[in-house]
Amino acid sequence: MNVGFGPGLIPAFVRVALDHPLPTLYDYRYPADVPAPQPGMLVRVPFGRRDVVGLVCEVSAHSDVPAGKLREVSAVCSACPPLSAQWLELAAFAAGYYQRGLGEVALPALPQALRDPSRWGRLLAPEERYRLLAAGREALPAALPERAQALRRLAQALVDAGELDVAAARSLHPKAAATLESWREAGWVAYERVEFGAASAAESAAAKAANAAQILASTPPVRVPVLSDEQTAAVESILAARGFAPFLLYGVTGSGKTEVYLRALAALLEREPHAQALVLVPEINLTPQFEAVFRARFAATLADDAIVSLHSGLAEGERARNWLAAHTGRARIVLGTRLAVLASLPRLAMLVVDEEHDPAYKQQEGLRYSARDLSIWRARQLGVPVVLGSATPSLESWWQAEQGRYTRLALERRAVADAVLPTVKLIDLEEERRRGRASFEGLSGPLVAALKAAFERGEQSLLFLNRRGYAPTLACDACGWVAGCPRCSAYVVLHKPERALRCHHCGWESRIPRSCPDCGNVDIAPMGRGTQRIEEALTSAVPGARVLRIDADSTRRKGSAQALFSDVHAGEVDILVGTQMIAKGHDFQRVSLVGVLNADNALFSHDFRAPERLFAQLIQVSGRAGRAGLPGTVLVQTRYPRHALYHALARHDYVGFANAQLAERRDAHLPPFVYQALLRAEGRTLEAALGFLAEAAGALSAIPSAGRVTVYDAVPLTIVKVMNVHRAQLLLESQSRAALQATLHAWQPALRALRGVLRWSVEVDPLDI
Ligand code: ADP
Ligand code: ZN
Ligand code: ZN
C-alpha cells in the first residue's frame, strides 16, 4: 500500500529496539510502500545474518549511520495498532530502572504471536479451524492410505491437538482445505469460525463455563452484599480520588477487600464508559477464582469478552488474543499475574494489586522487576488511582502509608456477619516432650486431638508446612552419609510417591538407593518431614479422614490445582495439607482449624526479611480459618512459644509487628530506609565469580555518584553451587535512590567489559539477599 508521501516528506529512518542486552537502538531505512512509520510499531529487520522482530521507538528524517551500512526494514506489522507513547515510556522506565536494554524489556513483554512475523497477517483476523469429533478420532489416521504421507501428517496433527486452524493445516498439506472439508462431510471434524475478540470467550467457553460453575457452586450465590461502614468508606475514598492516588487497603483476612475492588471498579467503569482497569493477583491459581467472581458480578453490565485474564498458564493463542483485547481497548478489566503489569492498556484508569506484599510480584529472572512497584509507576504516569490490598502489607508500603504518601484505608473486621478472626494457640513442643506426651510423625498430641475433633464435627482442617516432598533428605545413621545433589551444594529431597530423590535446585533425579552408597548400611532413613510424609501420617492419625495434598508436585499438570481446590470447596476433603499454595487468598468456607508445622525454621534466618515473610504467611494461612461464621482455631507448633513474632500473631497484631520491624530496620539501616542493589556473578569456579565481583567493585571508584553508595564485600550465595555453576554476589546500598541509580547506570559499560564469568546480572531492590 502506498501512503502517498512525497519524497523528502517521509521520515525515512526508524530507530528500532531489539531483544538484545545493549541499550542501543538500531537505525534502519524505512520502505516507502508500506504504512507510514510510527513509534510503537513492530517491524521485521535484518540483524547480522538473521531476521528479527524489533520495536520502532523513533522515526527520523536523518540517520548518522553511513548510507551504505543502513539496511532496510523488511516487514511491518500493520494489523495491530502501534503501542502507545505511554507504553514505550513504561518500557523505557523499566529498562532504565532495572538496568536492562529497552528491547530486552519491551519485546519479551509481548505475546509470542506478535513476535512472529508469519502470524502478523492473521492477528486480528477471524480464526477458522476444524475440531476433531469422536468419529474422526476413531477413523483417523487409520482410514488413510499408507502412502499418503502428507495427508497422514495432517491427520496426525489434528489427532494430537484435537483441532487445527486452517492456516496451520495449509502449511502441512497444500490441499488441506479441500481435505478437511471432505472430512467434515464424513462427520469426522466440525468447522468453526471465530471472530477476533469473540475468540477469547469462545475458545475454551465450555471449559470455562464448567470451571466457573464449579467454583461458583461451591461459593455462596452471587449476590451483591450490603457494604460494611468500613468498606463504604474505602470505596468512597477511592472514587473521590482525582489524579494519581495510591491507596493502601489494609484489611484483615476475610474483611472483604475483593468487594471493595469490585465496587470501586463497577463505579469507575460505569462513570467512564471506555475506561480499563488492571487487577493483579500474586498466583496463577487465584486467577480462576477471581475471574469467576468478576464474571459473575459484571455479567449484566459488561460483555463476556470485556474481562480477560493474562498469565503464563494460558495457551499461547489465548494469551495473544487476551493481550490484543487489552491493547485494542476491547477488554475493560484485565486480571493477571505479575506479567500483566506490562500489558498495553491504552485507557487504563485504575490499578489494583491484591496481596501486594506477596514476593511473587517480584520477577526472579531476566528482567527482575517488581510488578507492584511498576503498578505504582504506571498509576503516577497516567494520573490514576492504584489500590494495594493486603492483610499484611509489605514494610515498604506500610512505611509509605506511615509517612502519608499512600492513603491508608483500614478494614479491621471480618465482612461476613458472625465471622471473627480465629483464636491462635501455640503448642509448646519442648513442654510436650518434657511431659512425655506422645507425638506422631511430628504431629503433637493436641494437634492430632483437634484434627480428630474437627473431623468428627464434619469441619475441614488445613495443615500448612512450607516444604514439599516426603523428607528434606535421606541419611545413613551408621556413617553420616546424607544424600546430596552431584551438581549442587544442596541435599536432594526424598519423593516417596514418585520413588525418587530429586534436587529442588536443578531437577537432578535418581532412584532411591536400597542401602547407603558409602557403607552399605541398609537402614538408611528419611530425615525431617515434608508434605508427602505428613499426608501419609494423617491417614493413620485421623482414621477415615479424606486427606488431600496441594503443593507444586501434586499440581504439576495444567488445571490440576483448580480441580483440587474445587474438591476442597465442594467439601470432598476433610484435611488439606500443603505449602504456601494453600495459604494465599482462597476463600474456604468450611475450614475451622489451621495447623502450622515447622514454622520455627524461618525464625532465625540470616535474611532480614525472613520475619516479615513468615509473619505474612502465618497471618494468611490463619486467615483461611473461620471465614464463614464457624469459629476458627489456629494451632502453631513451636519450640519458641515466647518469640515476639508468635505473640504478635496470637494477637493478630500486624500493626505492632510492622512498627517494631520498622524500628529495627531503621536502627540497622536496612530497607525501606536504604535502597539496595545486587550484582550477581556465576562462574565455573567460586574464585572466578568472586574475582569478577572484586574487579567490578574496583571499577566503582571511577564513578562519582558511587561516593554515596556503600559497597559490601563479595560473598558466596548460601547455596553456592547450582548445576555445577558457582554463584556469588556483591551488595550495594545507598540512602539515595538517585545516587544508587546513577551509579548502576554508569557502571554498566565497565561491567560489560569484564570477562571471566558465565553470567552476571544486576538486581535492583532485591528481595532475597
Ligand atoms: P479478603 O480478601 O479481605 O480476605 P474476601 O474479599 O475474600 O476477603 O471476603 C471474605 C468473604 O466476605 C467473602 O465470602 C465475601 O463474599 C464476603 N463479604 C465481603 N463483603 C461482604 C459484606 N459487606 N457483607 C457480607 N459478606 C461480605
Ligand atoms: Zn552409611
Ligand atoms: Zn541439583
Between the CA of 228 and the centroid of ligand 1 the distance, in Å, is: 10
Residue 196 has what pLDDT? 61
Between the CA of 493 and the centroid of ligand 3 the distance, in Å, is: 10
Read off the DSSP letter of residue 342. Answer: G
Q: Among 380, 381, 361, which residue's Cα sits nearest to residue 371?
A: 361
Rounded CA gap, 541 and 537, in Å?
Answer: 6
Q: Which residue's alpha carbon is nearest to atom 1 within ligand 1? A: 254
* Mutation test residue for ligand 1: of 230, 258, 354, the one with most atoms within 8 Å of CB: 258
pLDDT digits (tens, 9 = 90+) for 192-217: 876 665 444 444 444 454 455 455 44
Tell me: pLDDT of 334 over 60: yes
Tell me: pLDDT of 729 over 90: yes
Residue 49 has what pLDDT? 92
Between the CA of 183 and the centroid of ligand 3 the distance, in Å, is: 50
Q: Among 344, 399, 352, which residue's Cα sits nearest to residue 375?
A: 352
Q: Model pTM? A: 0.87
Rounded CA gap, 595 and 589, in Å?
Answer: 17
Tell me: pLDDT of 326 over 60: yes
Residue 11 has what pLDDT? 66
Helix (H) or strand (E) run with residue 433 in it: helix 429-434
Calculate mean pLDDT across residues 532-548: 96
* Mutation test residue for ligand 1: of 587, 621, 627, 630, the one with most atoms within 8 Å of CB: 587
Between the CA of 160 and the centroid of ligand 1 the distance, in Å, is: 43
Ligand nearest to the CA of 263: 1
Ligand nearest to the CA of 523: 2
Between the CA of 514 and the centroid of ligand 2 the distance, in Å, is: 11
Per the CB < 8 A criterion, the answer to whether 201 and 305 are in contact is: yes
Tell me: pLDDT of 449 over 60: yes
In 101-183, which ranges are E strands?
Answer: 127-132, 163-165
User: For residue 258, which atom of ligand 1 is closest to its CA?
Assistant: 6
The region, left, alpha or beta by phi > 0 then psi within -120 to 50, assigned to residue 117 is alpha
Least confident of 162-166, 432-436, 761-765: 162-166
* Residue 147 CB-density burial (10 A; 0-12 exposed, 13-18 middle, 19+ buried): exposed
Tell me: pLDDT of 239 over 90: yes
- Measured in whole angstroms, the distance separating CA 67 from the mean position of its chain's CA atoms is 45
For residue 542 the three cell numbers come to: 485421623
Per the CB < 8 A criterion, the answer to whether 575 and 595 are in contact is: no
The residues facing 13 across adjacent strands are: 29, 60
> CA 467 → CA 184, 473, 596, 718, distances in Å?
51, 11, 12, 18
Calculate mean pLDDT across residues 625-650: 93
Q: Which residue's alpha carbon is nearest to atom 13 within ligand 1? A: 256
Per the CB < 8 A criterion, the answer to whether 245 and 213 are in contact is: no
In 639-722, which ranges are E strands?
Answer: 675-683, 710-711, 715-722
Maximum Cα–Cα distance for the chain, whole Å? 94
Q: Which residues contact 266 (CB under 8 A, 6 or more apart)?
A: 297, 298, 301
Calculate mean pLDDT across residues 647-662: 96
Residue 416 has what pLDDT? 86
The residues facing 427 across adjacent strands are: 637
Query: Which pairing describes strands 26-29 and 71-72: parallel, antiparallel, or unpaired?
Result: parallel
Name the 3-class secondary structure at 428. Answer: strand
Q: Among 605, 729, 600, 621, which residue's Cα sits nearest to residue 676?
A: 729
Q: Which residue's alpha carbon is nearest to atom 2 within ligand 1? A: 257
Between the CA of 51 and the centroid of ligand 1 the distance, in Å, is: 52
Query: Which pairing describes strands 407-411 and 245-251: parallel, antiparallel, or unpaired?
Result: parallel
- Angle ∠(223,228,229) on CA atoms, nearest 5: 150
Residue 366 has what pLDDT? 86
Rounded CA gap, 425 and 435, in Å?
Answer: 18
Least confident of 29-33, 131-135, 145-149, 682-686: 145-149
Share of the chain above pLDDT 90, in %: 71
Residue 80 has what pLDDT? 86
Rounded CA gap, 483 and 476, in Å?
Answer: 9
DSSP per residue, 525-580? EEES--HHHHHHHHHHHSTT--EEEESTTTT-STTHHHHHHHHHHTT--SEEEESG
Single-letter amino acid code for the residue at 219 = T
Per the CB < 8 A criterion, the answer to whether 708 and 736 are in contact is: yes
Residue 209 has what pLDDT? 47
Calculate mean pLDDT across residues 443-460: 96
The region, left, alpha or beta by phi > 0 then psi within -120 to 50, assigned to residue 765 is left
DSSP per residue, 359-385? GGGB--SSS--BHHHHHHHHHHHHT-E
Residue 752 has what pLDDT? 94
Rounded CA gap, 47 and 49, in Å?
Answer: 6
For residue 49 the three cell numbers come to: 545474518
Rounded CA gap, 322 and 316, in Å?
Answer: 10
User: For residue 255, which atom of ligand 1 is closest to its CA?
Assistant: 3
Rounded CA gap, 334 and 67, in Å?
Answer: 45
Rounded CA gap, 329 and 339, in Å?
Answer: 18
Between the CA of 201 and the centroid of ligand 3 the distance, in Å, is: 42
Calculate mean pLDDT across residues 4-26: 76
Residue 10 has what pLDDT? 60
Per the CB < 8 A criterion, the answer to whether 17 and 57 are in contact is: yes
User: For residue 587, which atom of ligand 1 is closest to its CA?
Assistant: 7
Show the ligand 1 pocket: residues with CB < 6 angstroms. Answer: 225-228, 231, 251, 253-259, 415-416, 587
For residue 371 the three cell numbers come to: 510488578
Ligand nearest to the CA of 474: 2
Dihedral angle sign, alpha carbons of residues 411, 413, 418, 419? positive
Between the CA of 768 and the centroid of ligand 3 the distance, in Å, is: 20
Model confidence at 168, pLDDT cuts 50, 70, 90, reads: confident
Residue 151 has what pLDDT? 85
Asked if omega into 385 is within 30° of 0 (cis), the reply is no
Tell me: pLDDT of 544 over 90: yes
Per the CB < 8 A criterion, the answer to whether 157 and 167 are in contact is: no
pLDDT digits (tens, 9 = 90+) for 465-512: 999 999 999 999 999 999 999 999 999 999 999 999 999 999 999 999
The residues facing 638 across adjacent strands are: 428
Q: Which residue's alpha carbon is nearest to atom 4 within ligand 1? A: 254
Residue 485 has what pLDDT? 97
Residue 222 has what pLDDT? 63
> CA 113 → CA 198, 333, 391, distances in Å?
18, 22, 38
pLDDT digits (tens, 9 = 90+) for 61-103: 888 988 888 999 999 998 889 999 999 999 999 999 999 999 9
Q: Which residue's alpha carbon is nearest to atom 20 within ligand 1? A: 256
Query: Which pairing describes strands 633-638 and 423-428: parallel, antiparallel, or unpaired?
Result: parallel
